[in-house]
A and B are shown apart, each in its own frame.
Chain A
Amino acid sequence: MKRFDFDGLGEKLLRNFAGNSSRRSFLSKLGATIVAAPAFPLLPVARAQAQPSKPDRSPEAKTAFARNAQTKDDTKCDYWRYCAIDGSLCSCCGGGMSSCPPGAEPSPVSWVGTCINPDDGKAYLIAYRDCCGKSACGQCGCDNTDRETQLYMPQLNNNVIWCFGTKSMEYHCSTAVLVGKAS
Chain B
Amino acid sequence: MGDFRKREMGERALASMISASITARLSRLACASLISALAISAGSAAWAQTPAPAAATAAATRAPVEPEEPFTHKLPEWSPHWGFVRGGWENGGTRIWNGDTGKMLGLVATGRWSDLALDPKRRFIYVAETIWTKVNRGTRQDMISVYDPVNMALLAEIPLPGRLIIGAMKNNFVISDDGKTGFVYNFSPASSVNVVDLEKRKLSQVVELPGCASLVPVAGIGFSALCSDGTLATVTVGPKTSTVTNSQPFFKAAEDGVFDFYAYDRTKGEIVTLTYTGLVRTVKLGATPVIGEAFSIQAAAGVRPGDTKPLDINWFPGGRQAMTLHRATGMLYVLMHRGEYWTQKAPGEELWVVDMATRKVVKRVPLKKEAGNIEVTQDAKPLIFLSGDEGLLQVMDAATYEIKHTIERGGGGVIATPDID
Contact = CB atoms under 8 A, between A and B. Distances in A.
B342 to A, nearest CB: 5
Contacts of B113: 161
B27 interface: no
A171 to B, nearest CB: 8
B318 to A, nearest CB: 9
Contact of B213 (A154, A161, A168): A154
Interface string A2-35: 0000000000000000000000001001101100
Interface in B315-346: 339-345
A40 B228 contact: yes
B210 interface: yes
Interface stretch (B187-195, B278-286, B292-300): B187-195
B148 to A, nearest CB: 30
Nearest to A58: B310
Interface in B90-131: 90, 113, 130
Contacts, number: 123
A150 B191 contact: no
Interface of B: prevailing SS: loop
Give the contact-size bracket for chain B: 35 or more
Interface in A53-83: 60-65, 67
Interface stretch (A94-102, A118-126, A139-147, A174-182): A139-147
Give the contact-size bracket for chain A: 35 or more
Contacts of A64: 310, 339-340, 342-343
A169 B140 contact: yes
30 contacts: A29-B188, A29-B189, A33-B190, A60-B310, A62-B310, A63-B310, A64-B342, A64-B343, A133-B136, A133-B137, A135-B136, A136-B89, A145-B344, A145-B345, A149-B253, A149-B254, A149-B257, A150-B213, A151-B164, A152-B211, A152-B212, A152-B213, A152-B225, A152-B227, A159-B169, A160-B187, A167-B137, A168-B136, A169-B165, A170-B137
